[in-house]
Structure 1
């Protein structure tokens, strides 16, 4: 018998937003034979919230499990009230913990977290970091990593690293995109050929801030806006270093994708990143919001070809474990 899934999340990729868990896991489950319906497609937060609740009520006699993408921002309340409605209707629901600052939500709303997570059928985290944090608070959490289709990512070994930087994320203040632009300014004196390409949609005005700063200081920064997966993978072949500048993070798929493509990764060591990137083994880690230290790591990669080759080879081997062919078995054990 085919299992029937209602997947609740921010399914907004068709509205110029960055794809989220619902956009990747949902279609993968469909390929495995699950029947999947979605809720969370409305651009308006208010309308999206009511769409989620209505979908639960509408599908209560049809659904076997409700998957709920759970974030740390205001969208946490979407997950909370969806979970409470599922509980009231005796529908098994599974929160999937995505929010990089969910530990902060544990502190600010402990009772709400307790009700959401203790009433669930199971709690899932793509991040070992969040699994550890929540288990220290007494919750049971199953680790299932985010998955990628490894065959889509052609590995390129870069023999010589150039100061050509790639940044892929939504332009939101929590991801600190301005730091990437300031890195170009820092590196320009020593590397006149430095370039930065920033891929991603606007979210909270950060794109405008970055563009204004680049224009004011005449910096070689290219802004592409949101690109399709295939387009940014093709574009990545012309760049040599992937930078992740975030203030908060959990288990960003963009880092997995960069590793799969052979791009050496430099990231701030925040949230779940050190559980994903091992410093000087599968990437390089730096303190949050430190332009000088970040630029020093970039220089290390440029001047030490063997370091770049070693960490990219290690990273590719690591990320192959996140191939959907492996991850799907973890979902089968839960849903069947």
Structure 2
């Protein structure tokens, strides 16, 4: 049985959104891998220290998986990577940050030390693969973020309503205010329109978003952080899924929405155009283009046949991320076949 050390922000138990360490870790445990995790401490300094101490003293570990983001959490990955190099451990950064190419431009030496010495660099999207190839990064492997497709029942929506769903952590990076602004534009044509925004607060954006909605007198529901099972059940009441982020890679929430029969309308940023083909399995608009997102919703409200076609294509696309397909790519790495 192979032993994996998984480094990441394992914070779902604190009310934060589940991340790859929560989902991929459980899937690998189900395939009889033994996993050690770091870290679940909510305080950033304690979390970092736990990551470092665990990496320094873990015994008989075959691989170290490192969730790697583009903002402050990049430095967790960097220092863990350097410690792995010192201990001669095989480490594998899993590239999640949609703004990692910019990080490489601003901190080229740190990125080179982390990524150029990795056993493999796992890219969930073609977007990051292309960007990292341009930086001359070696040992790149494309492995999509996986889902269990049977956990998401496809609902064919026959009567389309202007009911919008947004699922993400409340942070400036994900631009939650845009979703409220889209609703404000939409109610001019569809007064019954409503918006539900699911997620925990990350940087104070939740209260700012609530205030915007209140000041505009809009029908916005804020249920807080929900489990995956809870928000999947909630999704049956909605028809459109808004992804308003400024930067993105290959968000699992978008893939899940595609599986559930919602039409995804997203900003055209980062890896999103590699996931969604405009007017085929979703709709794309420019970053921060409120009117374009509003127009996209109105177009589909008035063209239900187009709505139906897009949702069916989206479900087909989501099937490519099924764990039974994706896991073989991990096995190739862990069994030294690549």
TM-score relative to the length of structure 2: 0.98
SS at structure 1 position matched to 2:237: coil
Structure 1: gaps of 5 or more residues: none
Q: Which residue of 1 aligns with 2:169?
A: 170
Q: Is the 8 A contact 1:163 1:302 kept in 2?
A: yes
Q: Please list, as runs of the form range in 1=range in 2, the aligned pairs for 1:81-230 lying within 5 A after superposition.
A: 81-140=79-138, 141-230=140-229
How many angstroms does 1:67 deviate by? 0.3
- Length, aligned pairs only: 334
How many angstroms does 1:204 deviate by? 0.5
How many angstroms does 1:191 deviate by? 0.4
SS at structure 2 position matched to 1:237: helix
Q: Please list, as runs of the form range in 1=range in 2, the aligned pairs for 1:45-56 lying within 5 A after superposition.
A: 45-56=44-55
Q: Please list, as runs of the form range in 1=range in 2, the aligned pairs for 1:173-322 lying within 5 A after superposition.
A: 173-322=172-321
RMSD: 0.7
Query: How far does the alpha carbon of each residue in 1:51-106 deviate from its partner, in whole angstroms, 9 at most, with x for none?
Result: 001001121x3211000000000110100000000000001000000001101101
Q: Is the 8 A contact 1:160 1:302 kept in 2?
A: no
Query: How far does the alpha carbon of each residue in 1:148-198 deviate from its partner, in whole angstroms, 9 at most, with x for none?
Result: 010010001112321000000000001000000111111112101100000
SS at structure 1 position matched to 2:241: strand
SS at structure 1 position matched to 2:92: strand
Query: How far does the alpha carbon of each residue in 1:240-276 deviate from its partner, in whole angstroms, 9 at most, with x for none?
Result: 1111001010010000000000001100000000001
Cα distance in 2 for residues equivalent to 1:282 and 1:107:
32
Cα distance in 2 for residues equivalent to 1:184 and 1:27:
37
Q: Is the 8 A contact 1:65 1:93 kept in 2?
A: yes
How many angstroms does 1:118 deviate by? 1.1
Cα distance in 2 for residues equivalent to 1:154 and 1:113:
40
Cα distance in 1 for residues equivalent to 2:151 and 2:194:
26
Query: How far does the alpha carbon of each residue in 1:189-237 deviate from its partner, in whole angstroms, 9 at most, with x for none?
Result: 2101100000000111111011111111210000010001111011000
Q: Is the 8 A contact 1:161 1:241 kept in 2?
A: no
Cα distance in 1 for residues equivalent to 2:8 and 2:129:
20
Q: Which residue of 1 aligns with 2:74?
A: 76
Cα distance in 2 for residues equivalent to 1:331 and 1:217:
48
Q: Which residue of 1 aligns with 2:331?
A: 332
Structure 2: gaps of 5 or more residues: none
SS at structure 1 position matched to 2:66: strand
Q: Which residue of 2 aligns with 1:58?
A: 57
Cα distance in 2 for residues equivalent to 1:44 and 1:34:
28
Cα distance in 2 for residues equivalent to 1:189 and 1:151:
38
SS at structure 2 position matched to 1:280: coil
Instruction: List structure 1 runs of 4+ shifted beyond 6 angstroms.
Output: none
Cα distance in 1 for residues equivalent to 2:309 and 2:187:
26
